[in-house]
Amino acid sequence: MFKINDNYLKLPGSYLFSTIGKKVAAFQEANPDKNIIRLGIGDVTQPLAPAIIEALHKSVDEMGKAETFRGYAPDLGYEFLRSTIAENDYKKRGADISADEIFVSDGAKSDSGNIGDIFSVDNKIAVCDPVYPVYVDTNAMAGRTGDYIADEQRWSNVIYMPCTAATNFAPELPKETPDIIYLCFPNNPTGSTINKAELQRWVDYANKVGAVIIYDAAYEAYVSEPDVPHTIYECEGARTCAIELRSFSKNAGFTGLRLGFTVIPKDLKSNGVMLHSLWARRHGTKFNGAPYIVQRAGEAVYSEAGRKQTAEQIAYYMNNAKVIREGLASAGYTVSGGVNAPYIWLKTPDNMTSWEFFDYLLEKANVVGTPGSGFGPSGEGYFRLTAFGSYENTVKAIDRIKAL
Ligand SMILES: Cc1ncc(COP(=O)(O)O)c(C=O)c1O
């Protein structure tokens, strides 16, 4: 008789966004005349930039001719894309990362989940609380998190690092020593960042205790302040303790196209074994590469026109972030984020729970956001709004909230 991976059975309830979806659908059905504005899910709305579309058309045509047709991509991704990434995202920022330390993938969600394959199930993970749920759930599926304690909304074998107003929504070094530390800056969901000196403390700590940092920099393109690092490899010593995850989803609108990459420096070793070799083996065995046309589209993001056009899109979203942040602040809300990230994190008024505020906002303002408690216990009493809507809808949503 076959057996299932019963770690899956330990996973709690329904997924946050499906619960939100059901509530919104029920409200819309009961109130068909209401115009609902969605500032909940972190998906982009602007179309792909012209330089990217041009690269897609060109590479599609190449695929239609015998002389330029491409089959399977190289295991690590095409050299043209990896060297462009190494040059623009790393060398230009003074970070010592070479093209053959970059593994092209179909995005940061799969990489953040799959990276666990190369680590023993005995490792203890540390995560921020609140957190992007994928890190915890994929470790739970692998059997690394112990049992779920429903009353406390936490796993028995995970180190939680609370990120609260008291810590400026950044984690503090944990008291118990972890083996694998997940960090995400700029942060989803809180929109917070840490400066280079603060990130250096994490790198020094990881090197000291022999931990590995999995650094999710999916929102790197939204960094606007000069002392906020764009990559963990700006920090000294990161090559021996950090893996970086990157995505084309939010910097260039590839959420539907799918492209990302993971960086594993060759100096990152466990008892002399290079994690780079293990990930190369894993990548070569379980993944057959991102499509050629998508990798060409990714290359176009770094062209002069691509950089200019994607920067304009980011500026558009960040203007929305400003509208939300300043609008809510003027209405008396306590808000953070939205400066180096497309997420605004607000304290719910009158001690409402996150879900009470969700219902209140949906019913009274017809605006959808995301309850902070869905990202972890320390998110209770908070709420996330995203800047990825249209400018018009963003303004309308904030006007409605201000009028409550
Ligand atoms: C922190 C974080 N990492 C990764 C992802 C997923 O990125 P991708 O679209 O590249 O899979 C998201 C998407 O919302 C995210 O918020």
Domains of the chain in start order, with CATH, are: 15-44+305-402 (3.90.1150.10), 52-302 (3.40.640.10)
**Ligand 1 atom with minimal separation from the 42 CA:** 14
Report which protein residue has its CA nearest ligand 1's atom 16.
188
**Ligand 1 atom with minimal separation from the 255 CA:** 9
What does the DSSP 8-state code read for residue 375?
G
Instruction: Please give the single-letter amino acid code of residue 368.
Output: V
Q: Residue 376 — left, alpha, or beta (φ > 0 → left; ψ -120 to 50 → alpha)?
A: left
| C-alpha separations of 245 from 11, 113, 231 in Å | 24, 11, 10
- How far is Cα 76 from Cα 289, in angstroms, rounded to an integer? 8
What does the DSSP 8-state code read for residue 270?
E
**Ligand 1 atom with minimal separation from the 109 CA:** 11
Q: What is the mean pLDDT of each run of 10 residues along the chain (404 residues)?
A: 96 82 96 96 94 98 98 96 98 96 98 98 98 96 96 95 96 98 98 98 98 98 98 98 98 98 98 97 96 98 98 98 98 97 98 97 97 95 97 97 95
Calculate how far, in angstroms, residue 108's C-alpha sits from the geometric centre of ligand 1.
Answer: 5
Containing 382, the helix (H) or strand (E) segment is: strand 382-386
What does the DSSP 8-state code read for residue 177?
P
Per-residue model confidence (pLDDT) at position 18: 85
Calculate how far, in angstroms, residue 30's C-alpha sits from the geometric centre of ligand 1.
Answer: 33
Calculate how far, in angstroms, residue 42's C-alpha sits from the geometric centre of ligand 1.
Answer: 9
Residue whose entry in the numeric block shows the structure tokens 């869905």: 374
Per-residue model confidence (pLDDT) at position 14: 67
Q: Look at strands 180-184 and 212-216 and give their pairing.
A: parallel
Beta bridge partners of 180: 125, 212
Calculate how far, in angstroms, residue 129's C-alpha sits from the geometric centre of ligand 1.
Answer: 17
Task: Please state the pTM of the whole predicted model.
Answer: 0.97
Per-residue model confidence (pLDDT) at position 350: 96
**Ligand 1 atom with minimal separation from the 132 CA:** 1
- Cβ proximity of 247 and 91 under 8 Å: no
Nearest to 371 by CA among 167, 192, 189: 189
Cβ 249 under 6 angstroms from ligand 1: yes
Cβ 255 under 6 angstroms from ligand 1: yes
What dihedral do alpha carbons 16, 21, 27, 30 form, nearest 10°? -140
Cβ 138 under 6 angstroms from ligand 1: no
Feature table: binding site for pyridoxal 5'-phosphate: 72, 108-109, 132, 188, 219, 247-249, 258, 288
Cβ 348 under 6 angstroms from ligand 1: no
- How far is Cα 49 from Cα 112, in angstroms, rounded to an integer? 26
